């Protein structure tokens, strides 16, 4: 296949329009971050410690990691469309559960069920790979994730506004309404992109060793896991840094938490424009280098005593820029290792990526205190960014030995 198939907007007989892919992935990304400025208010409402409410981040990530092991095979077997519709319906029910939860435990339980919406991120990647070949997939994913990044960029700001003026429940009213809009568009526009009936579970189980034995698959997966891990560490600790260390308001926290997304939009724009010309691996290497350099500079400034909200969150923009170049290209490389298992590769790779993110998110929360300042978080983000760069270098070396292009 050398070109994208015909796409007609709101026509279920053709593949989904790019705006639909942006919305299904964007809703999942929005759900991950829009509530962060509300954590302190929710802790007060439920009369629990802040650390308990922070579980809404790490438990959610852990749940989505497990779900991604199921979503890929299900969508390969039964199709992308019915799995996506079902996931949005589950999300809507769980969002109402969060809204009316009487206790923190009930809220956290429904918050975990909300994780079903991660289907949008998994299937957006798989659908793109269904439609176009590797380099075109990297470019298309760049535009999808650029549009997706605009949503969580304004999400924390919107969440901060809603929390400051109407309380944390308003955030979940907004999420429910947004889910309804996305459900309507999916039903009207998302045509099926899996040919036939997909791969059966038994057949898929027999082919998994082929995927798992690939060093290139694991190299791309490690690259994505470490690159995104730096961002998930940011998610786990940035709210504490903003509110408890730098004393920002809910609105100020929301604005600060949008910093990486600014860079992410730019990075995804660069991916959309240059991935086909430059190549997947070179774009990933550049992205991991930018993130490592930015986080290294941030850490160095902290070590010499330069600590302010502006300095901390400004350098987090470079993390977003690097990830915007790294993730769509590494994803395209990962899914192209075994194209006939694109859904499974997306789910398995996503599970490893998000599972690692859950650990790093929880670790960030444990490491931080008002006494340490933001330094532990800066060190953690720098370390995993460097590991991401090391991982893609291992892929490049492997492909050179195999005589493959980069």
What does the pLDDT read at residue 237?
Answer: 83
What does the pLDDT read at residue 328?
Answer: 86
Question: Is pLDDT larger for residue 358 or for residue 310?
Answer: 310
Model confidence at 139: pLDDT above 70: no
Q: Comparing 14-28, 253-267, 329-343, 385-399, which segment has the lowest mean pLDDT?
A: 329-343
> Nearest 10 degrees: CA dihedral of 3, 261, 353, 300?
130
Q: Which residues contact 135 (CB under 8 A, 6 or more apart)?
A: 275, 276, 279, 280, 332
Instruction: Give the pLDDT confidence of 48-71 residue by residue, as tens digits.
Output: 887 788 788 888 988 988 887 788
What does the pLDDT read at residue 286?
Answer: 96
- Percent of the chain whose pLDDT exceeds 90: 36
151: closest CA among 170, 175, 183, 115? 175
Cα distance between residue 15 and residue 204, in whole Å: 24
Q: Residues 317-321: what's their mean pLDDT?
A: 93
18-192+201-402 fold = Growth Hormone; Chain: A; (1.20.1250)
225: closest CA among 376, 73, 358? 358
298: closest CA among 204, 233, 392, 221? 233
Q: Residues 221-237: what's their mean pLDDT?
A: 89
What does the pLDDT read at residue 148?
Answer: 65
Cα distance between residue 288 and residue 33, in whole Å: 23
What does the pLDDT read at residue 117?
Answer: 94
DSSP three-state, residue 270: helix
The first and second tokens of residue 384, run together, are: 């995993």
Model confidence at 198: pLDDT above 60: no
Q: Comparing 13-17, 35-39, 142-146, which segment has the lowest mean pLDDT?
A: 142-146
Cα distance between residue 175 and residue 153, in whole Å: 15
- Alpha-helical runs (H) found in 200-258: 201-212, 215-240, 250-257
Listed by start position, the domains of the chain span 18-192+201-402
Q: Residues 87-109: what's their mean pLDDT?
A: 96
Model confidence at 406: pLDDT above 50: no
Model confidence at 1: pLDDT above 50: no
Q: Comparing 162-166, 249-253, 316-320, 351-355, which segment has the lowest mean pLDDT?
A: 351-355
Cα distance between residue 406 and residue 62, in whole Å: 33
Q: What are the CA-CA distances from residue 402 to residues 89, 181, 399, 406 (Å)?
A: 45, 47, 5, 11
Reduce the secondary structure of 123-146 to three states and give it as a string: HHHHHHHHHCCHHHHHHHHHHHHH
What does the pLDDT read at residue 335?
Answer: 80
Question: Is pLDDT larger for residue 324 or for residue 209?
Answer: 324
Of 74-83, 110-119, 191-200, where does the model show the most confidence? Answer: 110-119
The whole model's pTM is what? 0.77
What does the pLDDT read at residue 355?
Answer: 84
Cα distance between residue 66 and residue 113, in whole Å: 12
Instruction: Give the pLDDT confidence of 282-309 residue by residue, as tens digits.
Output: 999 999 999 999 999 999 999 998 889 9
């Amino acid at each position: 296949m050398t070109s994208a198939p015909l796409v007609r907007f709101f026509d279920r007989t053709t593949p989904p329009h790019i705006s639909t892919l942006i919305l299904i992935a964007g809703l999942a990304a929005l759900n991950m971050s829009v509530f962060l400025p509300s954590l302190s208010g929710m802790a007060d409402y439920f009369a629990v410690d802040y650390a308990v409410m922070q579980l809404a981040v790490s438990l959610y990530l852990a749940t989505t990691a497990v779900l991604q092991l199921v979503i890929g095979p299900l969508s390969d077997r039964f199709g992308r469309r019915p799995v996506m519709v079902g996931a949005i319906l589950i999300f809507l029910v769980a969002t109402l559960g969060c809204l009316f939860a009487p206790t923190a435990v009930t809220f956290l339980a429904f918050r975990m069920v909300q994780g079903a919406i991660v289907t949008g991120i998994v299937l957006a990647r798989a659908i793109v790979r269904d439609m176009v070949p590797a380099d075109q997939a990297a470019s298309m994913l760049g535009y999808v994730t650029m549009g997706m990044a605009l949503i969580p960029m304004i999400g924390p700001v919107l969440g901060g506004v809603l929390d400051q003026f109407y309380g944390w429940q308003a955030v979940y009213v907004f999420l429910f309404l947004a889910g309804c809009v996305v459900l309507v568009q999916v039903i009207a526009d998302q045509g099926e992109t899996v040919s036939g009936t997909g791969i059966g579970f038994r057949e898929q189980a027999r082919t998994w060793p082929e995927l798992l034995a690939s060093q290139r698959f694991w190299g791309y997966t490690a690259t994505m896991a470490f690159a995104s891990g730096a961002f998930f560490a940011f998610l786990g600790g940035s709210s504490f840094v903003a509110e408890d260390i730098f004393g920002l308001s809910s609105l100020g926290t929301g604005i600060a938490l949008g910093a990486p997304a600014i860079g992410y939009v730019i990075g995804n724009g660069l991916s959309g424009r240059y991935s086909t010309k430059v190549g997947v691996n070179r774009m990933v290497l550049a992205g991991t280098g930018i993130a490592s350099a930015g986080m290294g500079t941030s850490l160095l400034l902290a070590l010499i005593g330069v600590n302010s909200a502006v300095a901390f969150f400004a350098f987090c923009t470079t993390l977003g820029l690097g990830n915007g170049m790294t993730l769509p290209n590494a994803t395209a490389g990962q899914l192209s290792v075994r194209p006939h298992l694109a859904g499974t590769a997306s789910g398995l790779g996503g599970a490893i990526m998000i599972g690692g993110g859950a650990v790093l998110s929880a670790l960030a929360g444990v490491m931080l205190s008002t006494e340490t300042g933001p330094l532990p978080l800066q060190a953690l983000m720098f370390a995993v960014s460097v590991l991401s760069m090391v991982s893609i270098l291992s892929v490049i070396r492997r492909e050179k030995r195999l005589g493959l292009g980069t």
